[in-house]
Structure formats: C-alpha cells, structure tokens
Amino acid sequence: MELYTKVAYAHSKKLTLSYSTSFGLSSRLFHGDIQPHIYAIYGLVRIADEIVDTYKGPDADQLLDELETQTYASIRSGYSTNTIIHAFAQTARRYGISKELIKPFFDSMRMDLHPRTYTPQYYATYIHGSAEVVGLMCLRVFVDGDDTAYKRLRDGAAALGSAYQKVNFLRDLAADYKELGRLYFPDVTYETFDDSTKDKIIADIQEDFDHAYTALQQLPANSRKATMMSYVYYTELLNRLKRTPAHVIKTTRLRVPSGRKLTLLARTMIRRGNPS
C-alpha cells in the first residue's frame, strides 16, 4: 500500500501542475511535508472541473455523483482504485477533511452543469463551495490538527479563496460566457457589463483580500510563503484588471507574463512585509 499511495500522490502532483503554471510556482514554496497533500486536494478538484468544464457529456451528472460517492467511500476505507481519489482520501483521513467541506464543493460543481442566472444567494453558495471550502481544506493541512488555529484563521482563509475565485470570474468573463454559457456575477449581464459594474466587482474583491491578509500573515511557516506568493500573483492580476476597460475584459483573457511571475516569486522569497 505504501508504494501505491506514493504513486497516487505523484499522479496528483502531475495532474495539478499540468494545468497551472502560476500554481506550480507558488506550490513549490510549501514545506515538503505538506506539499503532496496540497496536490492531492487540487487533484480531486481538477477531476471535478474536467467533468463540468471539459467533458460536458450527457452523463456528466452521473459521473460527478459517482466521483463524490467514491470519494466518501475511499475516505471510509482508506483505499481507491482511482489514484487521484486515493491520494485525496489519504489526506482527508490524516487531516480531518470531512463531508462538511467536501459536499459544498460537489454541490457547486453541479451548479455548473446547468447554467443559470445567478442571484446574490446563488452566487454566495457557489463561491463557498467552489472556492472557500477548498481554501479551508488546505487550512486543515496547514494547521495539522490544531483546531484553535483553524478556528482563528478560518474566516481569513475563506475570504482568500473567495477573492481568488472572483478574480478568476472577472478574468475569464469572456470565455465563461462565450464557451460555457456562464456569467457568475449576480444582477449582471454580458451586455450591461461596463466599467461601473467592473469597479463594483473589484471593490468587493478588494474587501475579500483585505480581510484575508491578516490571517495570511498568521499562517504556519509551512505554508506562509507559498500562500503569500499566490496572494501576490492574484493581487497583481486584480491590479491589471483595474487598469483594463470593461469592453476589453469582455473579449480578452488577461495574463501575468511569465517574466513578471518570476519577479513576483523572487520578491516573495526575500521579503516578509506587505507585498502590495
């Protein structure tokens, strides 16, 4: 079982890093003891994303249900024939990642299977399940069973996940709408999205970032620099979105150039103060 589990974690790492260069940069800053567990969390998230974003077959609902069922079964038994699920189950068992965090994630993924007009309530529900709980899963790993630290940092970790997801929604507005038929922001349509609307969304995101920053500074040393790197990357992306007119966001996906990412990484490595 030890060899199989080692291979399972290696598969999660490969899957995760194949999809995101920016996450790849920051994830290398996690302490070696927790790094495999972060990949395990994001590996499971990636499989669910593939079902709802890429596969989109007529049995997508069934596949998502099966993935969730297999995840719970594997946590109970400590084993799965699916290596990505197996790695996640090992991590969940070790760090107490329970159905309380897992179920909202799958509920949000189901919302993606059936595009809808998002009300503020639907939006909050989706953000919680698709982003906040993922941050909280990672926090369970960071604090390694310290429930007092988890409770103290929980709100900030959720706010950081929320900020990241909202930045993604704004950056990917054109592709989400044109390719997937989705527009997540409540009371907003593609046609009426303008600079005023963009500014309100950015102000909301900034509130999340401000809320998260204090908790970020209090993270254990095993995860602080990696999380700070992701914070720096996403605040850079947010600043670029601030400077970009709404009509450009409606047609173009903004990126942070690779050279700039490396510069941000270097700065994060050598400083511990406010990165903004």
Cα angle vertex 198, ends 204, 238, to 5°? 65
**Helices 35-49 and 2-19, packing angle to 10 deg:** 60
- Mean pLDDT within 160-174: 96
List pLDDT tens digits, range 213-233: 999 999 999 999 999 999 999
Q: pLDDT-based confidence at 272, cuts 50/70/90? A: very low
The whole-number pLDDT of residue 38 equals 97
Computed over every residue of the chain, the mean pLDDT equals 92
Domains within the chain, CATH numbers bracketed: 2-270 (1.10.600.10)
Q: Is residue 115 predicted with pLDDT exceeding 90?
A: no
- Half-sphere CA count of 177, side-chain side, radius 13 A: 21
- Mean pLDDT within 76-97: 98
Q: pLDDT-based confidence at 275, cuts 50/70/90? A: very low
Q: CA-based diameter of the chain, in Å? A: 56
Both ends of the chain: CA-CA distance in Å? Answer: 45
Q: pLDDT-based confidence at 273, cuts 50/70/90? A: very low
- 251 vs 169: CA distance, rounded Å: 13
Task: Compute and round to an integer the Cα radius of gyration of the chain.
Answer: 18
Residues 6+ apart with CB under 8 A from 77: 89
Asked if 43 contacts 16 with a C-beta cutoff of 8 angstroms, the reply is yes
Give the pair of three-digit tokens for residue 45. 């998230």
Q: Is residue 274 predicted with pLDDT exceeding 60?
A: no
How buried is residue 202: exposed, middle or buried, by Cβ count under 10 Å (0-12/13-18/19+)? middle
Grouping H, G, I as helix, E, B as strand and the rest as coil, residue 194 is coil
List pLDDT tens digits, range 147-159: 999 999 999 999 9
Which of 15-24, 32-41, 135-144 has the lowest average pLDDT? 15-24
Token look-up 């254990």 returns 220
The whole-number pLDDT of residue 269 equals 63
- 147 vs 184: CA distance, rounded Å: 33
